Amino acid sequence: MSLIASHAELDLETVARLSAASNVLSHRRLPGVAGTVVVSTCNRFEVYAELHDGADADATRAGFVDSVASTADLPPAIVSRALTTLTDHDAVRHLFSVASGLDSAVVGEREIAGQIRRSLTDAQRAGTVTGRLSKLFQTASRTAKAVQSNTTLGSRGKSIVSVALDLATDLEPGPWASREVVLFGTGAYAGATLSLLQERGTGRIGVYSASGRAEAFTASRTGDALTDRDLADRLATADVIIGCSGGSQRLDAEDLAELDRGGKPLVAIDLALSRDFAPELDTVDGVTLLTLESVRMAAPREQVESVRTARHIVDEAAQDFAKAHRQRGADAAIVALRKHTQSVLESEIEKVRAQHGCTAAAEEVEFAMRRMVKQLLHTPMVRAREAAAAGNLDDFTAGLDALYGIDLSSDASAPQPSATEPTPSGRPGATGAVCPISADHERSA
């Protein structure tokens, strides 16, 4: 099950409020939920959950909605309408599309693949991930790499940040080497922004963090760490300011209006989901405000053929993932059939040993019986995996119940292993006389 809220359906202010629940859901196990991975980026909030067998999906969804609503301080009804629910193949395909950049404001962006990997790492650290969720996200990352390798998507390095910087250039033409930038934030998104600013040869970059982490951030990168006392002076001379923090401290119109900028134009780029800059900044003389909505509208459309190829890769990857999962579902049926057959086999071998003792004839009979059972089981095991891959495993298990009385829906009715001890040769045998199969027989088997 996945719960989706993104820029495609909602305004970013609502997405930001929903994203406030990401930390809570990343460290909390709800009833009926085996594991959870939360994806929270600048324009999406998504929850991927694996449910316990028999869990009520509607009740589980309601639990997620209540948790998000209480954290985001929103009515549950609004949260419920905002979150789109996807299950099974639809959820898998959506994640693969997101990881490949096909659901991004800038189609083919590369940053989202890294965010998907970090989401899995965060869940692993929190102890909320399951084996299947881990495999799902790892496959999503491999799919994203396949899209990058086999299409031109992302080849130009376009991202939310790069499109925003292009817009700033269009608004105020000129080389970046002569520009002064103030960057708000020290997180992963700020790091990606700083790297792009460096690639463009930006002349002077100041980094400000309300939490005081700017010095540690710039120590391993570049730029000047700004204190509260430095900030006003740098804002008075800046050409571009970029918000990437999403913190509680917001730059207001009054903060800029009272500065003596001498009529110098300023481009303010707000890339924070929860807004670093007040919308009123756009009313200050000489200030132009760009938001995530602005960037999304200006994002370039990639080549149609590349997108078509990418979607084909995503579709195939999702189908392969579903097929592999269904085939693993056949394991329980195969194990049950083997246990049932083994129980019958050991019972018959007991009779042979009781009648003939530990003789060469008894050994030959035992070997022949084991080999025959192995051959008889081969075709049913192959058919089980084929049925699972085709989505017809229920028909196979119904056949097991009809033919052998093996009911996989009930643990109590599942065949139990024969109550015998392993022989020195490593196979179940009788508790009485032991007739080990000879080395020649083992090799021929």
pLDDT in tens, 285-326: 899 999 887 877 776 665 567 888 999 999 999 988 988 877
Q: Which residues touch 445 (CB under 8 Å, ≥6 apart)?
A: 367, 370, 371, 374, 437
Between CA 110 and CA 112 the distance in angstroms is: 6
pLDDT value of position 179: 94
pLDDT digits (tens, 9 = 90+) for 209-225: 888 888 988 888 888 99
Helix (H, G, I), strand (E, B) or coil at 88: helix
Q: Of the ranges 214-223, 382-391, 411-420, 426-435, which is most confident?
A: 214-223
Please report the pLDDT score of residue 154 as a whole number.
63
pLDDT digits (tens, 9 = 90+) for 19-64: 877 877 777 778 889 999 999 887 788 999 999 878 888 999 999 9
Average pLDDT value for the chain: 81
Q: Which two tokens stand for residue 286?
A: 């000489």
Mean pLDDT of 115-122: 92
Instruction: Identify the pLDDT of residue 44.
Output: 86
Residue 414 has pLDDT above 70, yes or no: no
Percent composition of the chain: helix, strand, coil (DSSP 3-state, to 5): 55, 15, 30
- 48/35 Cα distance (integer angstroms): 8
Contact between residue 240 and residue 181 where contact means Cβ atoms under 8 Å apart:
yes
Amino acid code (one letter) for 132: R
Average pLDDT on 401-421 reads 55
Phi, psi of 409 (to 5 degrees): -80, -10
pLDDT at 175: 92
- For 366-387, how does the pLDDT look when each residue is reduced to its tens digit (9 = 90+)? 888 888 888 888 888 888 777 7
pLDDT at 70 (0 to 100): 87
The pLDDT value recorded for residue 424 is 35
pLDDT, one tens digit per residue, over 334-349 is 788 888 888 888 888 8
Task: Return the SS3 of 228.
Answer: helix
- pLDDT for residue 5: 84
- Binning pLDDT at 50, 70 and 90, where does residue 430 land? very low
Quick one: pLDDT at residue 77?
Answer: 92
Distance of CA 419 to the CA centre of its chain: 44
Q: Give the model's pLDDT for residue 200.
A: 92
Question: What is the pLDDT, as a whole number, of residue 409?
Answer: 63
- Point out the catalytic residue in the list 42, 244, 358, 435: 42
Does 66 score more than 80 pLDDT? yes
- Choose the weakest-confidence range: 109-118, 125-134, 185-194: 185-194
Q: Is there a contact between 115 and 46 (Cβ–Cβ < 8 Å)?
A: no
Helices 131-150 and 111-126 sit at what angle, rounded to 10 degrees?
170
Measured CA to CA, the distance from residue 342 to residue 78 in angstroms comes to 57
> Which residues contact residue 368 at a Cβ distance below 8 angstroms, ignoring those fewer than 6 apart?
none
Write the single-letter amino acid at 252. Answer: D
Does residue 203 register a pLDDT over 90?
no
Contact at 8 Å (CB) between 414 and 408? yes
Separation of CA 79 from chain center: 22
Taking the C-alpha atoms of residue 198 and residue 193, their distance in angstroms, rounded to an integer, is 9
Phi-psi region of 182 (alpha: psi -120 to 50; beta: other; left: phi over 0): beta
DSSP state of 4: E
Cα–chain-centroid distance for residue 408?
31
Q: Is the pTM of this model over 0.85?
A: no
Catalytic residue check, 42: yes
pLDDT in tens, 135-179: 999 999 999 999 988 887 765 556 778 888 989 999 989 899 999
Residue of 314, 163, 178, 296 lying closest to 237 (CA atoms) = 178
Q: How far is CA 93 from CA 8, 118, 204, 391, in A?
A: 16, 19, 43, 17
Q: What is residue 440's predicted lDDT score, i.e. its pLDDT?
A: 37
Beta carbons within 10 angstroms of residue 120's beta carbon: 20
Question: Where on the phi/psi map is residue 30: left (φ > 0), alpha (ψ -120 to 50), or beta?
Answer: beta
* Angle made by CA atoms 398, 403, 406, in degrees to the nearest 5: 65
